């Protein structure tokens, strides 16, 4: 007779799943430890006989699902090779919860703060996943596979009358303080800003142990905070001695043997146009009229690949840095100064080796011929953007005619680009006037004018055409040549719909029917909001709806520019991907075969990662300077615009100086407020008062925290 199947109620089913989840959470605290069922039952506080029976049932289920394994009768350990485990990178939010990004999965896996174990921001982790109460997939960290970093920036707090202290880390994404015994203070005193190296994190310990390896100084001081920003992102602020020595040994001569291998363009009118404070000149333009009436325009780029050779310590250092970092008061260059500001820089009245893209254009900016290769040039003049703009606006001066021709051609190219689907984000950038002590004495906004667009269009042209030259054969067919591309994926449809719904409340319409319509709609939206109160806010939201541009070996195109093929070729002094592009282009010009794609993809990912770090560091330095500037304005009132809204409060930006401060909901005493994510607003529960993204408000500056780089504002009624 067949054995009767035991009936398990639905309620009991849910109960056993919940207990299974509690068991996994408890066992994951020390995934290498063997537990018996009594230890497990005690660990989850299931102690009476009925509860223990349920624990045994849940253990059997977990064993059957291969989540745990039995090492000997009645003893269990987490199965680290189980199905349902995934590997990914952990990313913490301010609440202490985290998400794990797993390659190949569309959605990130949510990890509750109780289940993060000893993982820290950016670590590579092994997680086990489960579904809880029918919600989205969740997970628990089983093991840290790879630490992304072991050095952190924070403030030493010595425990009174004890032989130890804790380093409280600056970034709240580091979800723990680091214990430091007195012998490992490294000369630091209480309250010092320091760099601490995490040396050990024993299973079961609440805090990791560390040693202080560098004292940065007193919190809030300018040099301390700038060095803290660089250290926080692991960005070096000086070069190792051997790298400097390697750079000093470089042959700087423009020798005739090398000149003979290149197109000598020293006799053609050539100049640079750059920001007034620039020291490294990556690119120059040459122009001459041909006998057939067309224009020969040369886009000349510093030939860094001639000086920086693969396999040298100089190249290794450049690759590790991957990009120059532009902080408010200084540049942390990718290459030593002797190269970035001297040998490679296209300085006026000096012969320089360059890598060039030379185009023959007619008056309609149509390309009739193109050529790529190594050249030697002589820049006749160094223009600032302001000087070039004066020529465009009618002021007389040297090379006025040439600049006007270039401006005319650039405007035609720009119009065509926009017509073909490019999106025109022309955001102004905040800049600071600093005194001799790097104190901010004024704020201004960098606004792109025709002279900026002139350079931009010719750089875009060179980048696009180099990419097409490598990627397509003469018949326009895909060549399968490996290359490093700058790619920008299509925007997230859900984010676009959310943007459309939101801007409709302001009376703006968007057509999301197809890619082309989206680009047209976005451009119209950006044009229509110009000069209006909601301009900054809608521009910000539109940018957030876009994907992030990255480096890749897969040519998926660049949505924002409307290009099928695009690469970075024009700034090898400050970007390593451009240096890679130069080497590959020369390799293909020499008839070389396609190199290993996987190796190049690894380099592309590293460069993308370092670019993000540099951007975050730059953002932090601007925030620091804004807070420093606003310290002088404590107690003053300003007109502001709500620039962001969250559950705990909203941010207000002061348009005249770009400073942004937080207004906490708990400080609004007239009512209790609730957050509505759909409308980007908070609403008063009793009186219905509303604070929405884009609203104009009057605020008072109440607090300026230099260490947290945070301003606190108060609403003025």
CB neighbours of residue 332 within 10 Å: 19
pTM for the whole structure: 0.83
Q: Are 360 and 368 in contact (CB under 8 A)?
A: yes
Q: Rounded to the nearest 5°, which phi and psi values hold at 57?
A: -60, -45
Eight-class DSSP state of 558: B
Residue 6 has a pLDDT of: 40
Q: Which residues have CB under 8 Å from 155's CB, separation 6+?
A: 167, 168, 170, 191, 192, 193, 194, 219, 707
Q: Are 709 and 623 in contact (CB under 8 A)?
A: yes
Residue 586 has a pLDDT of: 98
For residue range 647-669, list pLDDT tens digits in order. 899 999 998 898 999 999 999 98
Residue 563 and residue 561: Cα distance in Å, rounded? 6
Domains in the chain: ranges and CATH: 10-78 (1.10.10.10), 82-146 (2.40.50.140), 151-219 (2.40.50.700), 244-414 (no CATH), 452-614 (no CATH), 633-715 (2.40.50.140)
Residue 103 has a pLDDT of: 82
Residue 122 and residue 99: Cα distance in Å, rounded? 10
Residue 133 has a pLDDT of: 58
3-class DSSP assignment, residue 340: helix
- Dump the DSSP string for 14-56: HHHHHHHHHHHHHHHTTTT--EEHHHHHHHTT--SHHHHHHHH
Residue 575 and residue 325: Cα distance in Å, rounded? 10
Residue 367 has a pLDDT of: 97
Residue 699 and residue 696: Cα distance in Å, rounded? 10
Residue 31 has a pLDDT of: 65
Burial 385-408 (b: 16+ CB within 10 A, else e): bebbbbbbeeeeeebeebbebbbe
Q: Are 573 and 334 in contact (CB under 8 A)?
A: yes
Burial of 94 (0-12, 13-18, 19+ CB in 10 A): exposed
Residue 134 has a pLDDT of: 58
3-class DSSP assignment, residue 543: helix
Residue 270 and residue 402: Cα distance in Å, rounded? 10
**DSSP bridge partners of 563:** 558
For residue range 228-277, list pLDDT tens digits in order. 999 988 898 899 999 999 999 999 999 999 999 999 999 999 999 999 98
Q: Are 342 and 558 in contact (CB under 8 A)?
A: no
Give me the average pLDDT of each 10-residue run along the chain (717 residues).
Answer: 43 77 79 82 86 88 83 80 77 84 84 88 87 73 87 93 92 82 95 94 86 94 92 90 95 93 97 92 97 98 97 96 94 95 96 98 97 98 97 96 98 94 82 89 90 97 98 90 95 87 86 83 88 77 88 95 96 98 98 93 96 94 94 94 89 91 92 88 91 90 91 91
Residue 132 has a pLDDT of: 61
């Amino acid at each position: 007779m067949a054995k009767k199947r035991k009936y398990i109620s639905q309620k009991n089913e849910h109960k056993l799943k919940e207990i299974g989840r509690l068991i996994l959470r408890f066992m994951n605290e020390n995934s290498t430890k063997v537990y018996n069922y009594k230890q497990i039952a005690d660990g989850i506080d299931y102690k009476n006989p009925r509860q223990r029976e349920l624990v045994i049932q849940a253990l059997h289920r977990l064993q059957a699902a291969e989540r745990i394994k039995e090492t000997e009768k009645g003893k269990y350990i987490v199965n680290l090779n189980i199905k349902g485990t995934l590997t990914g990178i952990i990313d913490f939010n301010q609440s202490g919860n985290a998400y794990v990004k797993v390659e190949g999965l569309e959605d990130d896996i949510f990890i509750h703060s109780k289940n993060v174990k000893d993982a820290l921001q950016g670590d590579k982790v092994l997680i086990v996943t489960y579904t809880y109460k029918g919600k989205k997939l969740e997970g628990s960290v089983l093991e840290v596979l790879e630490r992304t970093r072991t050095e952190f920036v924070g403030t030493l707090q010595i425990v009174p009358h004890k032989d130890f202290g804790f380093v409280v880390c600056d970034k709240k994404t580091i979800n723990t303080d680091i214990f430091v015994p007195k012998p490992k203070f490294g000369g630091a005193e209480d309250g010092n800003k320091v760099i601490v190296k995490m040396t050990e994190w024993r299973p079961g310990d609440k805090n990791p142990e560390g040693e202080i390896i560098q004292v940065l100084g007193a919190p809030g001081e300018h040099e301390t905070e700038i060095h803290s920003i660089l250290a926080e992102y692991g960005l070096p602020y000086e070069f190792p001695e051997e790298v400097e020595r390697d750079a000093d040994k470089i042959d700087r001569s423009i020798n005739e043997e090398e000149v003979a291998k290149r197109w000598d363009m020293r006799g053609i009118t050539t100049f640079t146009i750059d920001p007034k404070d620039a020291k490294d000149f990556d690119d120059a333009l040459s122009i001459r009229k041909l006998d057939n009436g067309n224009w020969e325009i040369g886009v000349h780029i510093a030939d860094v690949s001639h000086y920086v050779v693969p396999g040298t310590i100089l190249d290794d250092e450049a690759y590790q840095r991957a990009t120059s970092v532009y902080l408010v008061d200084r540049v942390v260059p990718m290459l030593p100064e002797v190269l970035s500001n001297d040998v490679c820089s296209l300085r006026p009245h000096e012969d320089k080796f360059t890598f060039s893209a030379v185009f023959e254009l007619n008056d309609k900016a149509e390309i009739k011929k193109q050529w790529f290769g190594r050249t030697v040039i002589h820049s006749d003049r160094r223009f600032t953007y302001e000087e070039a703009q004066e020529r465009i606006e009618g002021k007389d001066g040297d090379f006025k005619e040439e600049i006007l021709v270039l401006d005319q051609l650039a405007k035609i190219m720009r119009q065509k680009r926009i017509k073909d689907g490019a999106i025109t984000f022309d955001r102004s950038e905040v800049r600071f006037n600093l005194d001799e002590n790097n104190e901010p004495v004024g704020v201004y906004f960098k606004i792109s004018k025709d002279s900026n667009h002139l350079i931009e269009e010719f750089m875009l042209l060179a980048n696009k055409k180099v990419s097409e030259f490598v990627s397509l054969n003469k018949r326009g067919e895909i060549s399968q040549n490996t290359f490093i591309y700058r790619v920008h994926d299509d925007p997230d449809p859900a984010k676009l719909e959310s943007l459309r719904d939101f801007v409709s409340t302001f009376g703006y319409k968007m057509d999301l029917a197809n890619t082309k319509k989206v680009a047209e709609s976005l451009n119209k939206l950006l044009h229509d909001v110009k000069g209006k109160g909601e301009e900054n806010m809608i521009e910000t939201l539109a940018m957030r709806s876009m994907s992030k541009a990255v480096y890749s070996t897969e040519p998926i195109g660049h949505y924002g520019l409307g290009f099928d093929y695009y690469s970075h070729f024009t700034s090898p002094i400050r970007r390593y991907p451009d240096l890679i592009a130069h080497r590959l282009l020369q390799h293909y010009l020499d008839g070389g075969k396609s190199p290993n794609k996987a190796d190049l993809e690894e380099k592309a990912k590293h460069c993308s990662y370092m670019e993000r770090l540099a951007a975050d560091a730059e953002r932090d330095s601007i925030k620091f300077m804004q807070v420093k500037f606003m310290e002088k304005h404590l107690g003053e009132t300003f007109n502001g615009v709500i620039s962001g809204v969250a559950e705990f409060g909203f941010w207000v930006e002061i348009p005249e100086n770009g400073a942004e401060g937080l207004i906490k909901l708990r400080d609004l005493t007239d009512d209790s407020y609730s957050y509505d994510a759909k409308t980007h607003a908070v609403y008063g529960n009793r009186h219905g008062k509303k604070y929405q993204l884009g609203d104009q408000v009057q605020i008072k500056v109440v607090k300026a925290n230099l260490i947290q780089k945070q301003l606190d504002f108060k609403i003025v009624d």
